[in-house]
Structure 1
Amino acid sequence: MTPDPALCAALRADLTAAGYTAGAARAAWGEQADDAIRHGLAGPARAALAGRTDALAVLCRALFLAEAFPAHVLDTALPRTGSAGLIALRLARPDGALVRPVATVRPQELEADGGAQHWWIAADPDEAVVSGPLGTGHVLGVGGASLTLAGLQPSSAVGRVLDVGTGCGIQALRARLSADRVVATDTSIRALEYTRLNALLNGVDGIEVRRGSLFEPVAGEQFDRVVSNPPFVVTPRVAGVPTYEYRDGGLTGDELIAAFVRGVGAVLAPAGTAHLLGNWEYREGEDGLDRVQQWVAASNIPLDAWIVERELLAPLAYAELWVRDGGTAPGSGGYAELVEAWLDDFAARSVTAIGFGYLLLRRPASGVPTLARYERVTRPVRDGLGAHVEAALAVHDALEALDEAGLAASVLVVAADVTEARHHLPGAEAPSVIELHQGGAFGRVIEVDPALAALVGACDGDLAVGPLVDAIAELLEVDAAALRADVLPRVRDLLFTGFLRFA
């Protein structure tokens, strides 16, 4: 079903006129209630807005918190759309003397392309407003993973982008900011309907929806960029365990992500990149990142790969996380049985832990991969890593063209967000530990020796790396050639990770 464009435009005008923004909603119910919402509790926000019938409060109560109202109250708050328009858009239904929302329409702000981007996102009501377990066909709104992936998307202009597993369409909307066209796919008809609705509601064209799994809907086509927050959750394949479309790809273990990695090269244009989130299993005697490396190697199209593991969970913690995510609370009926089903499933494959992280894959324009980086970065990071990731790829390509002599002839500067920390034992003149701290990007902290610390400190855009290393070798009374051989590979890594930059 295609939503009525005129009704979507009317609703957009009503939401704009009422000032229904993320900031206005937070201000309306207050800081404590807003924090409660982030923890899945809607009661404080409802209490804060109780009795208010101004347009903003009514929209917060009806469209954010899914509260039912008499038709005339909604007609006043939404003069162009009216309660009949909400019903026609399948966002609400009649319920006796009331009109009851069956979807949420929530304001969403996102930092993108150097500024704040505002959208309204329609989706199914979440656990904050639904009492009990969610339906298996639930279409998720914008959550933490959605924001993480949106922030990982690069902002450079491209022609075509593929959004695999689009859900409510948030990644497609984000991709359209820099793409001429976006194809958004999902196995869920309901999800595709929400994506159409959200594109129309926000006045965004150029997004095409197609139904199907993984790359089936675009077989034979190529894209400049692929983004995906796929249904990667490892779910037991046993009776009694609900399979939620938004998080469960229907395969055993981590096979969904494995299939994505093995198959994405076929839909990437040369130099095209894929950006996704995923889980991977650690099995007895087998490291999770090694498993991902095997998936990359199994691709029929050679791929560059940069995999960043952000979190590692034990089987019990993973099971409890996703049982609660489905709306089954600890202590409630069925909770223990569901957790035990997860643990039995993990035991059957000798799973010892589950990793979560970011996957960046690229089809090399030359056909020959040059990047294979598999790492663990568990420090908290800010959203909006897309620019850093894109810059790191550009630096990697520049470094591939530089031999050691070329790197030694390069003039470098220290990135503006880098600081140094020195730790001394009591009474000692020389530091026992020297660390470089990165304020942005992945917030890395690396330990360096005095020679590398001196080199980084001297990179001010004046002298090239080679003469600086020679001067440091003389100061430390060490062999200059040996110091170059030791330092230059680490300089390459500092450039890739963003501690240093080409002047």
Structure 2
Amino acid sequence: MDTARTPKPLSRLAEDLRAVDFTVDALDGLWGGAAAAALHRGERVPARRVLDGRRRAHAGGAVLATLAELFVLGLPVPADEAAEALPRLGLDDAVELGLIRRDGDLVVAALDLRPYAFGDAHGEAHWWILSDLGELALGHALGEHHVLGVGGASTTLSGLMLPTPARRVLDLGTGCGIQAMHASRFADEVVATDISERALEFARMNLELNGIEGVELRLGSLFEPVAGERFDRIVSNPPFVITPRTEGVPEYDYRDGGMVGDALVEAVVRGCAEHLEPGGTAQLLANWEYRGDDDGLERAAAWAHGLDHWIVEREVQPVTEYAETWIRDGGTRSGTAAFDRLYDAWLDDFAARGVTEVGFGYVVLRRPVGGDASAAASATDGLARVERRHGAIGSNPAGLGGHLAQCLAAHDRLASLDDGALAALRLTVAGDVTEERHYWPGDADPTAMLLRQGGGFARTISPGTALAALVGACDGELAVGAIVAALAQLLEVDGAALAAELLPEVRELVDDGFLLLPAD
């Protein structure tokens, strides 16, 4: 073999995967919707039964089924079938790569390899992601240096990313590299850091496997690898899980930051101030503790002092549920002595700080354009938005980043407009907004009206008669002031008083994406 001309192993692996259409859609079609849903719940039996049936019907099986059984279900396959499925890579190079190991006449996966599909502002795409084997394939609890693949938190953060161009992006705590890969689609340069050498090796492999360039990997804790540097964008799914610092409690690299309580999240939020360029934005997943009578969400907002911020709490868990969630996440089963011991350790840790609940949500930070972080705290037009949005959100959670970008841009434009300038604008109703009217039987007038947002955070408001009429008239033809004047005449009320009532509400509707500003 001419090694000088032979593609590198990961490039050959990509060719093999591409040749058999190793994609999410193809696998879902292979074993069907019910089995695919079971896999999302961590159960592989339905998918295995489908593949077993295919093997019985077609001796030797198809190559896609072989790869699915080997890497997605984590089951051994005959070596000759694995060789047929990986003809370009070959089994010897697959072993050397650490992808598989031999077990007699069988081949067993040594790494998790699965397809990943997504859509963003650039369109639909798919990648392949390498990570450590999960609990399903291992058959036991995860190791402390486990490198996680793409999970729910990963897709949440990638969906939150602002789909706008950036010069330099920092992915803080990159893990398998998934956020750096997403960031590379809109950034000129990406720096990805992690405290785990093993995680960075996976990130390197995933970048090479998917042909992604322009990402620099650096080893170190939090902001240490980028000391003195600034970025247009910071994204991070930090290791924020609150874990007892007690002997015998596992500390997983992918989720535990080694600090007490929510101190790691506080450190990340505060550290963003000195690493953002003026006007630069950070987007994080985070959690915060509720201690006694202290409001956890207000504590999180205090960490962002001096920065524009928009913090959205999506969920609050009592400490009992929080502990159970993360003990099971490590692979320790309920009803065992090990589970009970860890449960006690978690509850002791929370009790020591008076923690009763833990909130989880999204954090958006921005350094003031003037560059003086201290100025934002007193600026009248600075963004300081803190809200609770528990429960379901819009019809496209994966596209929430576009909604955030739109709302941030709208806030900035509104901040520069006085009421006279706002009244002169011709607004339009967002395409995802619908109106509901509720009537008592026989009544001609509605007893209640609701405006619902189909996308974004799926907000619902109950407008008064005048505001509902104003929104209904916002078709881009009439200025807001003209609509208000017409309503004042129709309702026989003072025009100035009605404007004073409605214009602040119009600002809120623009901030929330119900109403859209005209193009510049």
Please give the range of the TM-score, normalised by the shorter of the 2 chains. over 0.9
Render the CA deviation track for 1:42-100: whole Å, top value 9, x for unaligned.
22222221236311011101121222234332211100001112212112223344332
Between 338-347 and 134-143, the greater mean CA deviation after superposition? 338-347
Residue 309 (structure 2) aligns with? 305
Instruction: Tell me what 1:204 maps to.
Output: 212
What displacement does 1:334 show? 1.4
Q: Which residue of 1 aligns with 2:464?
A: 449
Match of 1:431 in 2: 446
CA distance in 1, matches of 2:246, 2:111: 30
Q: What is aligned with 1:140?
A: 148
Question: Secondary structure in 2 aligned to 1:136?
Answer: coil
User: Which of the numbers 387, 392, 398 marks the counterpart of 2:413?
Assistant: 398
Question: Which of 180, 188, 200 is the equivalent residue of 1:192?
Answer: 200
| CA deviation map 1:207-251 (0-9, x unaligned) | 111111111100111111111111111111112221111111111
CA contact (8 A) 1:271 1:362 kept: yes
Structure 1 position 281 matched with structure 2 position 289: yes
Please say if residues 323 and 335 of structure 1, whose CA atoms lie closer than 8 Å, have aligned partners that are also in contact: yes
Aligned to 1:380: 392
The offset of 1:142, in angstroms, is 0.6
* d(CA) in 2 for partners of 1:227, 1:466: 40
- Which consecutive aligned stretches of 4+ in structure 1 deviate over 4 angstroms post-superposition? none
- Taking only aligned residues, the RMSD between alpha carbons, in angstroms, comes to 1.5
One-letter amino acid of the counterpart of residue 316, structure 2: L
SS at match of 1:385: helix
Which of residues 7, 11, 14 in structure 1 aligns to 2:13? 11
Q: Measure, in 1, the Cα distance between the counterparts of 2:220 and 2:316.
A: 31
Deviation at 1:326, TM superposition (A): 1.0
C-alpha contact 2:69 2:77 (8 A) present in aligned 1 = no
Q: Deviations over 1:398-419 (max 9, x none)?
A: 1111011111111101111101
Unaligned runs of 5+ residues in structure 1 are none
Q: Paired residue for 2:322?
A: 318
Query: Larger deviation: 99-108 or 70-79?
Result: 70-79
Secondary structure (helix, strand or coil) at the match of 2:136 reads: coil
**Offset from partner CA, 1:172-195 (integer Å, 9 cap, x none):** 110000111111111111110000
1:426: Cα distance to partner?
A: 4.0
Worse-matched range after superposition: 90-99 or 476-485: 90-99
Deviations 1:295-350 (A, max 9, x none): 011xxxx3110111111111111111111111112223412222222122111111
Q: Which deviates the most, 128-137 or 101-110?
A: 128-137
Q: Which residue of 1 aligns with 2:253?
A: 245
Distance 2:333 2:446 in 1: 51
Amino acid at match of 1:466: G
Letter of the aligned partner of 1:291 in structure 2? R
Q: Counterpart of 1:24?
A: 26
After superposition, the C-alpha distances for 1:448-487 in whole angstroms (9 at most, x for unaligned) are: 1111111101111111111211221222222222221221
Residue 128 of structure 2: aligned partner: 120
SS at match of 1:383: helix
Match of residue 82 from structure 1: 90
- Contact 1:148-1:384 within 8 A present in 2 as well: no
**Distance in 2 between the 1:157 and 1:465 partners?**
32
What SS does structure 2 have at the residue aligned with 1:209?
strand
Shift of 1:35: 1.0
Separation in 1 of the partners of 2:268 and 2:227? Answer: 13
Shift of 1:5: 6.8
Question: Which residue type is aligned with residue 415 of structure 2?
Answer: E
Matching residue of 1:484 = 499
Report the alpha carbon displacement of residue 375 of structure 1 after superposing the two structures with TM: 0.6
Which deviates more from structure 2 when the two are superposed, residues 188-197 or residues 87-96? 87-96
Supply the AA of the counterpart residue of 2:206: N
Output the amino acid matched with 1:389: L
Which residue of 2 is the match for residue 344 of structure 1? 348
Q: Distance in 1 between matches of 2:336 and 2:102?
A: 31
Instruction: State which of 365, 369, 383 in structure 2 corresponds to 1:371.
Output: 383
